[in-house]
Amino acid sequence: MRRLAIAVVTVGFVLVGALPALAGSGEDVLRPGEQLGPGEALLAPGGAQVLVMQPDGSLGMYALDDVVRWTTGRGVAGSVLSADATGDVRLVAPDGAVVWSTGTGGSGGTLRLQDDGDLVVQGADGAVVWSSGTSQAPSSLTGPGRLVGDDVLSSPDGRHTLLIGPDGVQLMGPDGAVRWAPQAPVGPEESDASSSGRSQRAGTSATPRPSPSAAPRAPAVALELREDGNLVALDADGAPVWRSRTAGHGPATLTLQDDGNLVLLDAAGAPVWSSSTPIGPSALEPGGEVAADGLLGSPSGHLGLAVRDGALVASWDGEPFWSSPTDGAASVRLQEDGDLVLLDAAGTPVWSTGTAGRTGARLVLEERAVLLLTPDGEVPWQVPVPEDLAAVPVDTAPAPRAQPTECALVDGPVAEADVVRTGSGIRVHPCLADAVDALVTAARDAGVELGGGGWRSPEQQIALRRAHCGPSDADIYDKPASACSPSTARPGSSRHERGLAIDFTSGGRSLSAGSPAYAWLVQNAAAYGLSNLPGEPWHWSVDGS
């Protein structure tokens, strides 16, 4: 039995407003016959994961950075988590009704919260008979080591995954697109030591490519980080098909970063190779500046904006499609007055969007456009992605249809063309737009600034499921929403896809249950047709789902 002092955890809960105080012992297990009451919690052995029996009756798992990793979803206030004598773990409402269950009766099991973020029921023999499926894959591989079979590296935020799929070793982006693969062929044998000082760009090789008549290499089915610091991709026969040529830098560590860049670090922590696949921030705030070595990117990484060769350049999958008419720029700055300005090395403006007078405007990269967006939703300047670059395939594009004027009649995902951007900048179904604007205005009058994200495409929902639930089709399409981290609706069933839900922010951060913005919404949102999803303070929709 493990007991820990948990004062530091209590601080985290105060931040998220999940519960008033911890009444539990801080153990990591719930044994048959034991229960957790409202406000009590389990604490993982390392202290990085906490399972909270929340006052609203839902069960939630939190990381210490206040991120919700898993939840049972809608609860009944006053419920308790109980492990009965047979090993079934259940949420039981005050009237005795079973709200949720692991379905492990007869196992004699114990509920255990693990350091890797997985919540499991272990039977009397120690075998796992139920799992929340929320274990976090490591983000690093320290040499010597190998990735084979089902091994996975995941960025700490879960948006990027390095795995071995049917087509070999692949680095997958937030939308499931392959952003890098070690498929460049190795050329004639040469000493790794002789080329160990060269840093390679993704998918490139310092040796000549074979002639077109040469047989193609087999896909890489293993990635080996050798003791000397060389990263080598191997085919099914164990033959190398690619190498980083960083021998001499060992011992090394391969790390998948939150920005999507796969980086090889030497013992001193200095990068010696990378996949060159970083995704930059998707927004530039007033007063922000990006230098020539910086990058802005859409959430999926397909759309990028950067200063290159003296100009501001927009690109799609690395291919430029728009450029400012300049050749001497060294950085781009968004002025407080809303003007986007290119500056030379001396700080002298050489080009601007001519949008001064829009105080508070933000530069935002959506999936299909670069937008200068004012606080009231005006778009004074934009660079759209050409349709032939970002077109949705005909066989997957949602068919246009007449949109109902009542939200209750919206019964499925809607196309991007069928949603509107409100005056507050939130994209929703037209049936909800006026109510959202009125709500945001009323909140502002009360001293509460609200923003947020509304409609998302089916492709974006699939990308979120891949990031939150796992990379396989079963993870994306079949796994229950509550088994994802955080809870994420199946594609086709999210209210976001219908334009009927908003993930609210205040001050640029997602709402927490203890925030003034959340308290205001609890008191007032119903008057504007919005209800909260229990366990997710930021998520509000027309029916609370």
pLDDT in tens, 428-453: 899 999 999 999 999 989 998 887 77
pLDDT of residue 424: 66
3-class SS of residue 388 = helix
Least trusted range by pLDDT, from 61-70, 74-83, 513-522: 61-70
Q: At residue 10, does pLDDT exceed 80?
A: no
pLDDT at residue 376 in the model: 64
Confidence check: pLDDT of 305 > 80: yes
- Mind giving me the DSSP string for 199-265? PPPTT--SSPPPPTTSPPPPPP-EEEE-TTS-EEEE-TTS-EEEE---TTS-S-EEEE-TTS-EEEE
User: Which DSSP string corresponds to 429-475?
Assistant: -HHHHHHHHHHHHHHHHTT---EEE----HHHHHHHHHHHH-SSHII
Q: What is the model's pLDDT at position 353?
A: 92
Q: What per-residue confidence (pLDDT) applies to 390? A: 66
- Whether the bond between 251 and the residue before it is cis, its omega within 30 degrees of 0, is yes
Q: Which residue(s) pair with 545 in the sheet?
A: none
- Per-residue pLDDT tens digits for 53-75: 888 888 888 876 556 677 887 67
Top pLDDT among 204 and 388 is at: 388
Contact 487, 539 (CB under 8 A): no
Phi, psi of 30 (to 5 degrees): -125, 115
Q: Which of 62-76, 301-315, 324-338, 510-524 has the lowest mean pLDDT?
A: 62-76
Mean pLDDT of 40-55: 85
Question: What is the reported pLDDT for 457?
Answer: 81
pLDDT at 25 over 60: no
Q: Which of 178, 225, 186, 228 is nearest to 205 (CA)?
A: 186
CA 348 – CA 326 distance, rounded (Å):
13
Q: What's the pTM?
A: 0.54
Q: What is the pLDDT of residue 5?
A: 28
61-70, 207-216, 233-242, 480-489 — which is least confidently predicted?
207-216
Q: Which domains does the chain have, with CATH numbers?
A: 7-131 (2.90.10.10), 140-274 (2.90.10.10), 283-390 (2.90.10.10), 407-456+494-541 (3.30.1380.10)
Q: How many CB atoms lie within 10 A of CB 268?
A: 7
pLDDT at 145: 92
pLDDT of amino acid 117 = 81
Range of lowest pLDDT (271-275, 397-401, 475-479, 487-491)? 397-401
Q: State the distance between the two ends of the chain, measured CA to CA, in whole angstroms.
A: 38
Minimal CA–CA distance to 444: which of 344, 375, 539?
375
User: Average per-residue pLDDT in the chain?
Assistant: 81
What was the pLDDT predicted at 335? 95
Within 63-126, residue ranges assigned H as helices are none
Q: How confident is the model at residue 169 (pLDDT cuts 50, 70, 90)?
A: very high
CA distance 464 to 458: 10
Q: How far apart are CA 69 and CA 321, in angstroms?
A: 38
Measured CA distances, 461 to 159, 300, 366, 529 (Å): 13, 12, 15, 23
pLDDT of amino acid 403: 61
pLDDT for residue 217: 61
Spatial distance between the Cα atoms of 522 and 501, rounded to a whole number of angstroms = 15
State residue 200's pLDDT score. 37
Mean pLDDT of 352-373: 89
Q: Write the CA distances from 256 to 139, 228, 433, integer angstroms.
A: 5, 20, 39
Q: Across residues 258-263, what is the average pLDDT?
A: 92
State the average pLDDT over residues 188-196. Answer: 36
Highest mean pLDDT pick, 86-100, 208-222, 495-509? 86-100
In this structure, what token pair is assigned to residue 21?
């105080």
How high is the pLDDT of residue 205?
Answer: 28
pLDDT at 204: 29
